[in-house]
Chain A
Amino acid sequence: MGKLEQQLTIMNRLHILRAEKRLTQEQLAKAIGVTRATIIAMEGGGYNPSLELAFRLARFFAKDISDIFWVEEEKNNEKI
């Protein structure tokens, strides 16, 4: 597997940002137009949002996308 084909793990700090704004998952979901289940899935790392939703979140929290999402490369994923 080449370097560019490595599996990427996308991390986020949605949970922290939401807590800072003192918002419930339901309130955040309503604000950005998704369901609460999607917020739960994103916070738990089970779902990676689309670029559009990532921009909506960034705009809502008044941050850059990279402040909310970042990539943690899986170093041990390469087959020997």
Chain B
Amino acid sequence: MKKFDAIVMKAFLYELPVLVVFILTCMIMPLEKMAQENFYVNLWYQFGGFYIFGSWLFTALYISMKLLLAPDFRQLVLAKLTFMRERDEREVGLTGQAAKNTMLTTLAALIFLFCLSCVQFSYARVPAEFAAQGNSKVMSWGIGFSLSSHENETSLKQEQPLDKVIEYNGLPLSTSAILLGLIGWHIFSYNHYMRKYE
């Protein structure tokens, strides 16, 4: 089992740079369209997009499940990932302090993101025929919370044709982007506090 874990860990780590290059090429050029015309682009698209991304996701899923369930594995992997060093009692204390501060800052970030995700705001110009009492501009704001992401789409329904100047309906980021940002923030914050207290 340990050998299998080692292979999965290597696959997870070594596929990551290839995945980053694949994502970058997807961002820079229209890879999907180009893949239909060029054999080599198609090969890269299939290799990077299907085999590498697919297998990386499976390894990531396996690792995350194991991280949740196996304390030894968690210690081994996360210690490497966060550059954690516990060589003596002082460093154990430092990791504790850094972990506490990281937990608190992450909690603060989560609360902040939660507040931003609940706020809805819009500022719009109303066509002259719909203007009530000569008001040609409408500002509306609200607070909304829903368990499902689909429910948010129906919020702030407009009955009149409005020329919206500003509109804000919760965080303009995808769930994956927020989670990735939080993972990055967590690692950065931990290392920052480790260095600060050292």
Contacts and interface: CB of A to CB of B under 8 A. Distances in A.
A49 B89 CA distance: 8
Interface residues of A, number: 11
B90 A47 contact: yes
A33 B88 CA distance: 8
B89 to A, nearest CB: 5
A66 interface: no
A53 B87 contact: no
B90 A41 contact: yes
A52 B101 CA distance: 27
Contacts of A47: 90
Contacts of B89: 34, 38, 49-50, 52-53
A37 interface: yes
Interface in B62-97: 87-91
A35 B90 CA distance: 9
A41 B89 CA distance: 12
A73 B87 CA distance: 31
A35 B198 CA distance: 12
Contacts of B198: 37
A50 B91 CA distance: 12
A65 to B, nearest CB: 16
A52 B87 CA distance: 15
Interface in B137-165: none
A36 to B, nearest CB: 10
B112 to A, nearest CB: 33
Contacts of A34: 87-90
Interface of A: 33-35, 37-38, 41, 47, 49-50, 52-53
- The 10 A-B residue pairs whose C-beta atoms are closest, nearest first, are A34-B88, A38-B90, A35-B87, A50-B89, A38-B88, A35-B88, A47-B90, A53-B89, A41-B90, A37-B198
Given A34-B87, A38-B90, 18 more contacts: A33-B88, A34-B88, A34-B89, A34-B90, A35-B87, A35-B88, A37-B90, A37-B198, A38-B88, A38-B89, A38-B91, A41-B90, A47-B90, A49-B89, A49-B90, A50-B89, A52-B89, A53-B89
